[in-house]
Amino acid sequence: MPNANNVSQSPTSAEASALSQAQRRAVAELLRVSPVADDLGRRFQEAGFKLALVGGSVRDALLGRLGNDLDFTTDARPEQVLKIVRGWADAVWEVGIAFGTVGCRKTDAEGNVFQIEVTTYRSEAYDRDSRKPEVSYGHTIEQDLVRRDFTVNAMAVALPGIEFVDPYNGLEDLAQRVLRTPGTPEESFSDDPLRMMRAARFAAQLDFTVAPEVVTAMKEMADRIEIVSAERVRDELNKLILSDHPREGLRLLVETGLAQRVIPELPALRLERDEHFRHKDVYEHSLTVLEQAMALETDGPDLVLRLAALLHDIGKPKTRRFEPDGRVSFHHHEVVGAKMVKSRLTKLKYPNDVVKDIARLVELHLRFHGYGSGEWTDSAVRRYVRDGGPLLDRLHKLTRSDCTTRNKKKAAALARTYDSLEERIAQLKEQEELDSIRPDLNGNQIMEILGVPAGPVVGKAYKHLLELRLENGPMAYDDAVAALKEWWAGQQ
C-alpha cells in the first residue's frame, strides 16, 4: 500500500488537466513501441509469465520523451527470460544476470532498433558495511514497484493488454513534478543509499522538486553514501552534470551534505564574506560559469568542459589571502586547483585521460588574463595555442564562461579582447599551421646535420629549435640549419 504521507488529495482541475495530457502522451508513445512490446508480452504470457513495461520507460512515456531503450519487469527468473527472448531478439547479453537482468536488442518491421532490459521482480538492500547490494527475487509487481526509488519511477504498464499499474500515486506526483518515495524515504535510502544522489540527478534531469520529507532524509542519512562504490557515485554525478539543469541538482547535493562526502571541494567554495573583505561568492560564480559554458556547447553536452567549469576555482579556498589594502587574493589558485582536480577525480575513478584534460583546463583558465589589451607578442600567442593543444576550443569556451561580472561594460570589453585573441590565433594558423607546431627540422635531420646518433643531444637540439619556432615563427631550411649549427657550436 502507498505511504499515507505520500497519498495526494483529489487533483485540482489544473492537475487533472495535466494528468489527462500526460495520459494522452503516454498512449501515443506506447502505441509507437507497441508492436515490439506487445509481441514480447505475448511471448511471456504464452510461457505462463507476466511482463510489464516499468520505471523510467513509463515515466518518460508520460512525459512524451520515451526513447528506444525499454525496461521491463517480470515474475520469470533470469534463466526463464533467456529461453523466451532467445530466438526472438537479434542479440542477447547476460552482463546483468547476477542482478536478475537480461538484455537484448530487437529490430521492428520498420527498422527501429530497441535496446531492451528484462528484470525479474526483485528487492535489493545494503548491509551496513557492504558496497554491493544483495538481490532477492519477489513474487508480485507491487513488491517490485515499492522497492523503486521514486513514485514517478514506480509505475508500470502490464502487457500485452496495456493495463496501467500505479499503486503509489506516481501519476499524480508526475503531474505535480515532485519526487517522493513509494515507501518512507528512510527505508528507501537505507535499501540503496545511491538513491539520495538519484534524487539530485532527477531534479536536474527532469526539473522536478524534491519533496521536503525526502530532503530531510537525505540530510539525516548523507553519511550512508560512503558505503556506495566510487564508480556508482561517479556515474550518478556524471548524469547530473550532463543534465539540462545541473545547478538544481548540485545545490541539493550541497544543501543535504552529500557533496561534502562525494566532492567536498564544491561546498568548500562557499567562502564567507564580511564587510571588510568583500569578494565574489565563488560557489555561485562556479555554478554560473557552468551554465554559461553549457550555453557555448555546439555538439551536445560536454562532460570535460562542464566539470572544468564547475571546478575551475576549487583552488581558491586553499590560496585565499587577506591583503593589507583590504583586497582578497588567490595567488596561483589555478595551479593548486589543477592538483586538487587530479586528486578528487582520481578518487572518483574517472578515466585518466578525462582527469588529465580537466586538470589541464583548470591550470590554463587564467592564462588569457595576461593578454591585457592585446599586448601579447606572436610568440606568446603561439605558446597559448601550443599549451592548449587539443583542448584549445574548450579553453576558449571556459575562458569566455569565466566572466560573470554584472558590469556590462567590463563584460563587453573582455569579450572583445578575447575576440581579438581568437582572430590573431586564426590569422597565425593560416600562416603557420599552429595546430601542429614543431621545429623546422626533425630528429633525423638533426642527427644527419650534426653527425650524432640518437640520444639526449638530439632531444636538446629539438627543444632548442622548438623554442626558436615558437619565438620567431617558421624558418627557412637553410636558416634552421644555421641556427642548429650555431647552437651546436655553443655546446662544444
pLDDT band at 125 (very low <50, low <70, confident <90, very high): low
Paired sense of beta strands 321-322 and 209-210, if any: unpaired
Residue 474 inside a domain? The answer is yes
Helix (H, G, I), strand (E, B) or coil at 94: coil
Helix (H, G, I), strand (E, B) or coil at 404: coil
Query: 413 and 476, same structural domain?
Result: no
- Amino acid found at 382: R
Give the highest mean pLDDT range of 31-35, 154-158, 436-440. 154-158
| Distance separating alpha carbons of residues 31 and 455, to the nearest angstrom | 69
Query: 145 and 13, same structural domain?
Result: yes
pLDDT band at 337 (very low <50, low <70, confident <90, very high): very high
Residue 302 has pLDDT above 50, yes or no: yes
Residue 426 has a CB neighbour count (10 Å cut-off) of 11
Which residue would you say has higher pLDDT here, 279 or 445?
Answer: 445
For the chain, the average pLDDT equals 86
Using alpha carbons, select from 116, 61, 63 the residue that is nearest to residue 93. 116
Query: 366 and 347, same structural domain?
Result: yes
Residue 218 inside a domain? The answer is no
Task: Give the domain-ending residue among 389, 415, 436.
Answer: 436
Residue whose entry in the numeric block shows the C-alpha cell 562504490: 229
Query: 484 and 354, same structural domain?
Result: no
Query: 462 and 382, same structural domain?
Result: no
Residue 277 inside a domain? The answer is no
pLDDT of res. 24 = 67
Under 8 Å between Cβ of 137 and 77: yes
| Distance separating alpha carbons of residues 43 and 51, to the nearest angstrom | 9
Query: 410 and 339, same structural domain?
Result: yes
The residue range of the domain holding 428 is: 295-436
Query: 447 and 382, same structural domain?
Result: no
Residue 199 inside a domain? The answer is no
Query: 408 and 340, same structural domain?
Result: yes
Q: Judging by beta carbons within 10 Å of its beta carbon (0-12, 13-18, 19+), is residue 125 exposed, middle or buried?
A: middle
Residue 206 inside a domain? The answer is no
Residue whose entry in the numeric block shows the C-alpha cell 554559461: 292
Task: Give the domain-ending residue among 410, 436, 462.
Answer: 436
Paired sense of beta strands 156-159 and 163-165, if any: antiparallel
pLDDT of res. 441 = 81
Task: Give the domain-ending residue among 174, 195, 220.
Answer: 174
| Distance separating alpha carbons of residues 386 and 235, to the nearest angstrom | 32
Under 8 Å between Cβ of 207 and 217: no
Paired sense of beta strands 321-322 and 328-329, if any: antiparallel
Q: How many CA atoms lie within 13 A of 68 on its CB side?
A: 10
pLDDT band at 178 (very low <50, low <70, confident <90, very high): very high
Q: Is the pTM of this model over 0.85?
A: no
Task: Summarize pLDDT for 222-241 with one digit per residue, the tens.
Answer: 999 999 999 999 999 999 99
Q: Provide the domain count of the chain.
A: 3
Query: 420 and 480, same structural domain?
Result: no
Residue 399 inside a domain? The answer is yes
Query: 170 and 36, same structural domain?
Result: yes
In the sheet that holds 101-107, the strands lie side by side as 91-93, 101-107, 113-120, 69-74, 51-54, 156-159, 163-165
Residue 452 inside a domain? The answer is yes
Give the angle subtended at the CA of 343 by the CAs of 340 and 345, to the nearest 5°: 105
Query: 416 and 465, same structural domain?
Result: no
pLDDT of res. 14 = 58
* Pick from 83-97, 161-175, 375-389, 427-441: least confident: 427-441
pLDDT band at 329 (very low <50, low <70, confident <90, very high): confident
The residue-averaged pLDDT of 134-154 equals 88
- Amino acid found at 66: L
Residue 195 has pLDDT above 70, yes or no: yes
Residue 6 has pLDDT above 50, yes or no: no
Query: 366 and 417, same structural domain?
Result: yes
